Structure 1
Amino acid sequence: MKQIRESVIAGMWYPGQKNVLKNVLEGLLDRAPDNRIENIRALISPHAGYAYSGGVAAAGYKQLKGKDYKKIIILAPSHQHPFNGISAGDYTHYRTPLGDVPVSTETRSLIKESSIFSNTPQAHFKEHSLEIQLPFLQVVLDDFSIIPLVFGLIGLDEARKVADLITGCMDDKTLLVVSTDLSHYHGYDEAIKLDKDCITSILLLDSENTFKRELCGKYPVLAALESAKKMNWTPKLLEYKNSGDVTGDKTQGVVGYASIAFTGEIK
């Protein structure tokens, strides 16, 4: 029986009407850079409303157009419900205005056997950081399923255990998507400095240094970095902006956004 997770941000964080949403996404993708790269295994993508971070997200998702990924493992931080560990949820489908996205329940069941996972389905109820990735995926890919993982608090050792699980699921038709924004509500110049330091740590695959940086998806990113080290993937920055760059208002506190791809072979 279907257990559908209804959208909680359609009409607010992105358009709630199918045709309007599709047009917005296609416009963002059309305006994104065309520098194609191959063998993408993972993608870090922001999770603000599309009016703010959609352009940066599009720089990554444009790389996926025409690709044949069938299974998407999504790592997203919990903003609404504090807990320890990771929740894989109980839904069979996630709904957006573009349709229902099926969950790969078989793969999820295998992953949930690990002691790292917490029976915390409420972490998925109102979480935007995972849902915000889905419409982009629906526009650039065909016939895919997801493994939706919402992260509470974990440590570096646990991130390494998650990486073991993730890399064990990887093949040429599997993609890892990691949802995070960068620094929050600093002045424009300070935000650029903080975000540069954070991005540098990520590009160096430096988990210890990244752990000290300001990013709301810290724990999902740590799991991705540990996965990249195990698989010998190479990170590449595709786009960076903050909300001040997007709105033109650099007098208020801003939020940083980055799109980073990880490329390499499947061992």
Structure 2
Amino acid sequence: MKYLGMIILMVALSNTFCQDSPDLSKVTHRPPTVAGAFYPANADTIKKWINEYLSPDEPLEIKGDIIGLVVPHAGYVYSGWVAGKAYRELKDRKYDAVIVISPSHTKAFRGASVFKGDAYVTPLGIAKVDLELSKEIAIVFPDVKFSMDGHSWTEGRSEHALEVQIPFLQIVQSGTPIVPIVMGTQDFETTDELVKAIVKSVKKLNRKVLLVASSDLSHFHNQKQAEKIDSPLVEAFSKLDYFKMAMNLYQDKWEACGGAPITVVMSVAEQLGANSAHSFLYATSATSPYTATDSSRVVGYFSGALYNDNSGQLKILPELNEKDKKVIMDYAKKSVRSTVLNTSIDIDEKQFSDRLNDEYAAFVTLKEEGMLRGCMGQTFTTSSLLNSVIEAGRLAASRDPRFSPVSEKELDKLEYEVTILSRMKKILNPEEIEIGRDGVYLRMENSGALFLPQVAPEQKWNRTELLENLCRKARLPMDAYKSTKAELYVFQAMIID
């Protein structure tokens, strides 16, 4: 009878975990699919490796409430030690659930897939799913669905990016249920819908959650190139600038296979109270102390945390003195003049303060006899503040589609205003907009429009009038801002006139 029982158990497990196309509608536990490849298949070895990565003898770095993590997902011998720098910070912290978000490397599908099973299984055992929270997230938008897409192990190569995070969580958050989510598309719409679905569901169910974004960074450049590509992304993370990160990823200037999971976790974490970001470690596959690859072809890895430090907000605008402001205004004028006269500008940034070399977007507004003559700029930048102002001046003088280019005879009549922008902060409720303090950027499908903070007071608009005129500027219906497809961002500004 003893052997008969073992045979029955083996048959049952075979029917459940077999690679030969089980009925996924009946499978409730996802088996380990990359154990023995990306991480050890032996439970004792997993524990040994992870405990070493967690560096138990080193002091912790974060004292505030950790709400989100970003960790890599390569094989443990390459990136496990980088992930460990983040996971070690979870010691003695308690959460109701951990939401893990990864990209899909193996299956193409629209939207995001919230795992519809009961558990993920690794050699360490079962990691139960918070089904109530999972189902709640999956009912908000059609493209954020309760499904097996991206979680399956029967359609060729199985997804590793999410699974490799589970053993870490089983050790540092033992018994805490998970919500596994795989993103099939990483466009703005999917990202926005997933952010809104998670925030709404977490608040509705009053869950204290940890969010984990699974992503590697640049792929297959040499060590020097990888560092050059990845360092701006890490800096944007440290400044909580998910808008800038998303735009640079969209334009293929930066690389991260899980770029959208990172920006989702950053956005949600801020909505849930995070006001600070910390970078633990950047490394590459060539710098692993366990198994290093050739430095001519590396993959970038990064770990970081999003948290509430109970000390206020990040610095959002530069600290400029009167000399700095004069330099900025002088170069705004030089830029307009050189554009109109088709001459060049000589710039020696070394003679200016370092504050002018910080990265900030800017707008230049031109008026003639009190009437608007041009206003152009950027919503984000990878250039210095001074270069942003010069570029904005050039655009305002020649590229504002509402006006003809400025002529030479107008130069002496122009009035100038320079607006320096903070990062864009996502809001989920228009009531958060404060007239006079906030500029607003609206994005919806292929349309977008922006108003600087000074526009609404100048026009004597209330919040509703501001939003309606913003929709009109974007050539959308006047109530488009109410749509679930509309994205709203606010920003603050420093005005120099």
TM-score class, shorter: over 0.9
Tell me the equivalent position of 2:237: 202
Higher RCO structure (Cα 8 Å, ≥6 apart): 1
- CA shift, 1:132, in A, is 0.4
**Superposition CA RMSD, Å:** 2.1
Q: Tell me if the contact between 1:53 and 1:257 (Cα under 8 Å) persists in the aligned partners.
A: yes
Tell me the equivalent position of 2:172: 140
Aligned partner of 2:295 among 216, 231, 251: 251
1:111 correspondence with 2:152: no
Q: Looking at CA atoms only, which structure, 1 or 2, has the larger radius of gyration?
A: 2
- CA shift, 1:111, in A, is 0.9
Q: Tell me if the contact between 1:178 and 1:220 (Cα under 8 Å) persists in the aligned partners.
A: yes
Aligned partner of 2:267 among 226, 237, 260: 226
Tell me the equivalent position of 2:279: 237
Quick one: distance in 1 between partners of 2:295 and 2:281?
A: 22
Moved more, 158-167 or 175-184: 158-167
Instruction: State the TM-score, normalizing by the size of structure 1.
Output: 0.92
Quick one: distance in 2 between partners of 1:263 and 1:241?
A: 22
1:164 correspondence with 2:214: no
Instruction: State the TM-score, normalizing by the size of structure 2.
Output: 0.51
* 1:78-93 map, 5 Å: 78-93=104-119
Tell me the equivalent position of 1:214: 255
Tell me the equivalent position of 1:40: 66
Moved more, 78-87 or 222-231: 222-231
Deviations 1:228-248 (A, max 9, x none): 443452111011111111145
User: Aligned with 2:144: secondary structure?
Assistant: coil
- CA shift, 1:66, in A, is 1.4
Moved more, 98-107 or 120-129: 120-129
- CA shift, 1:122, in A, is 3.4
Moved more, 55-64 or 86-95: 86-95
Q: Tell me if the contact between 1:205 and 1:228 (Cα under 8 Å) persists in the aligned partners.
A: no
Q: Any unmatched runs of 5+ in structure 2?
A: 1-25, 153-157, 311-497
- CA shift, 1:226, in A, is 2.1
Tell me the equivalent position of 2:151: 124
Sequence identity (%): 32
Q: Tell me if the contact between 2:70 and 2:212 (Cα under 8 Å) persists in the aligned partners.
A: yes
Deviations 1:42-75 (A, max 9, x none): 0001000100001100000000011112300111
Q: Tell me if the contact between 2:82 and 2:303 (Cα under 8 Å) persists in the aligned partners.
A: yes
Q: Any unmatched runs of 5+ in structure 1?
A: none
Paired residue type of 2:112? I
Tell me the equivalent position of 2:16: none
Deviations 1:106-155 (A, max 9, x none): 11111111223146513112111111001011111222101110001143
Q: How many residues align?
A: 266
Aligned partner of 1:262 among 306, 319, 330: 306
Quick one: distance in 2 between partners of 1:199 and 1:265?
A: 19
